[in-house]
Amino acid sequence: MMRSYQFNAVKAPLVTHEGPAPKPGANDVVVQVKAVGICGSDAHIRNGLMVTSKRPITLGHEIAGIVTERGANVSQVDEGDRVVVDYMISCGRCQYCCLGKDNLCVNGKAIGFDLDGGFADYVAVPAANVVELPGGLPFEQGAIIGCAVATSFHATKIAEVSLGEDVAVFGLGGVGSHAVQWAKLRGARNIIGIDVVRKKLEFAKGFGATHAIDPLSEDAAKTIAEITQGKGVEVAMDFAGQPASLNSAINSAARGGRVVIVGRGPREIPISPWAFLRRELQMRTSSDHLRKEIPAIVEQVRAGRMDLSSSITARLPLESVNEALDALEEHGSEHLRIVVMP
């Protein structure tokens, strides 16, 4: 028997469920969950802003743990292996998968959105979806690699942040704060973090931001123009998904700059194509991550280039998952990532 925490109804707490532990299909492994990150998407699902394809469903898609059982066809993974779970399941056969754009797979499914996820003692996942977590890396860091750290990594690749460029990061939560670190690793010059929560500005500075702006006390675009001697930033990334943040990102971009949309808020945002045309801006979007990026990220963390040691701002037992969701959602929340542990 095992515990799981299921989403059953919008705007209601996840429900405790006791049931048998999952059995692996022929191509699956069962992972004993050691740590699961709480993502904004989990809160959005509970709120009705995002939908799952079934109900009830066990949420949780930032998963790390130990393989305890494997299906008949599985040979590349062993029982006892420490792993990060890639929550995105792609088919490997459609035209997008064949192009290496498996985040756009037409047959794509996601663990914790379409299939039962990691807010549980055990989870069954395809063996192709686990990536080895080296012994020196804690499970809590492995967990957040699966979404927060991967989404920001992919976004800075889509943005093509390059040596010596100026970058603005709007929204410094679990995803945006890591984009600051990736931008630094990619050799950005000025890295300007923007958020309304003072504590998140402090974290961003610790992660390598050269400047921090609270848009409630100053006009972000104006300050960014001053920092860059009137030029603006080559890359303006929006992780907040709010009308103010996206429009501010557009207004902060240098001529010919890239505006990258990553975060999605609850409301549609009207934007003017003329704002793009005048300065020949590019609008880019970044969704999730690619399969091959997960092992690449694990290697960056293992090698000590990417530091996740201060990314987790709270650790709670699995049974406190609803409190963890509440804490992330709280107005003015100072959390980057909260991890729950069975």
Print the binding letters for residues 287-326 with Zn ion: x by CB under 5 A, - otherwise.
Answer: ----------------------------------------
Using rule CB under 5 A, residue 90 touches Zn ion: yes
Task: Name the minimum Å distance from CB 61 to Zn ion.
Answer: 6
Task: Return the number of the residue (90 or 251) whose C-beta is nearest Zn ion.
Answer: 90
Map the footprint of Zn ion across residues 121-160, applying CB under 5 A: 147
Angle between helix 150-158 and helix 293-302 axes, rounded to 10 deg = 110
3-state secondary structure of 41: helix
β-pairing, 167-170 vs 57-58, is unpaired
Taking alpha carbons only, the member of 337, 286, 253 closest to residue 153 is: 286
21, 49, 94, 316: residue in contact with Zn ion (rule CB under 5 A): 94
Task: Name the minimum Å distance from CB 105 to Zn ion.
Answer: 3
| Radius of gyration from C-alpha coordinates of the chain | 20
Task: Name the minimum Å distance from CB 91 to Zn ion.
Answer: 4
Using rule CB under 5 A, residue 49 touches Zn ion: no
Task: Name the minimum Å distance from CB 309 to Zn ion.
Answer: 20
Question: How far is Cα 76 from Cα 126, in angstroms, rounded to an integer?
Answer: 12
Count of CA atoms in the C-beta half-sphere (13 A) of 122: 17
Using rule CB under 5 A, residue 97 touches Zn ion: yes
Task: Return the number of the residue (97 or 137) whose C-beta is nearest Zn ion.
Answer: 97
Using rule CB under 5 A, residue 105 touches Zn ion: yes
Task: Return the number of the residue (152 or 245) whose C-beta is nearest Zn ion.
Answer: 152
Q: Which span sits near Zn ion by CB under 5 A: 89-97, 167-175, 243-251, 324-332? A: 89-97
4, 41, 141, 286: residue in contact with Zn ion (rule CB under 5 A): 41
CB 23 within 8 Å of CB 120: no
Task: Name the minimum Å distance from CB 271 to Zn ion.
Answer: 25
Angle between helix 176-185 and helix 198-206 axes, rounded to 10 deg = 20
Map the footprint of Zn ion across residues 262-291, applying CB under 5 A: none
35, 39, 127, 197: residue in contact with Zn ion (rule CB under 5 A): 39
Number of amino acids touching Zn ion (CB under 5 A): 8
Alpha helices in the chain (DSSP H): 40-47, 95-98, 139-144, 150-158, 176-185, 198-206, 220-227, 243-252, 273-278, 293-302, 321-329
What is the torsion angle, in degrees rounded to the nearest 10, for the CA atoms of residue 157, residue 162, residue 166 and residue 171?
10
Question: How far is Cα 74 from Cα 82, in angstroms, rounded to an integer?
Answer: 16
Q: Which span sits near Zn ion by CB under 5 A: 105-113, 124-132, 253-261, 310-318? A: 105-113
Task: Return the number of the residue (118 or 215) whose C-beta is nearest Zn ion.
Answer: 118
Tokens of 22: 């999952």
Using rule CB under 5 A, residue 175 touches Zn ion: no
For binding to Zn ion (CB under 5 A), which residues are involved? 39, 41, 90-91, 94, 97, 105, 147
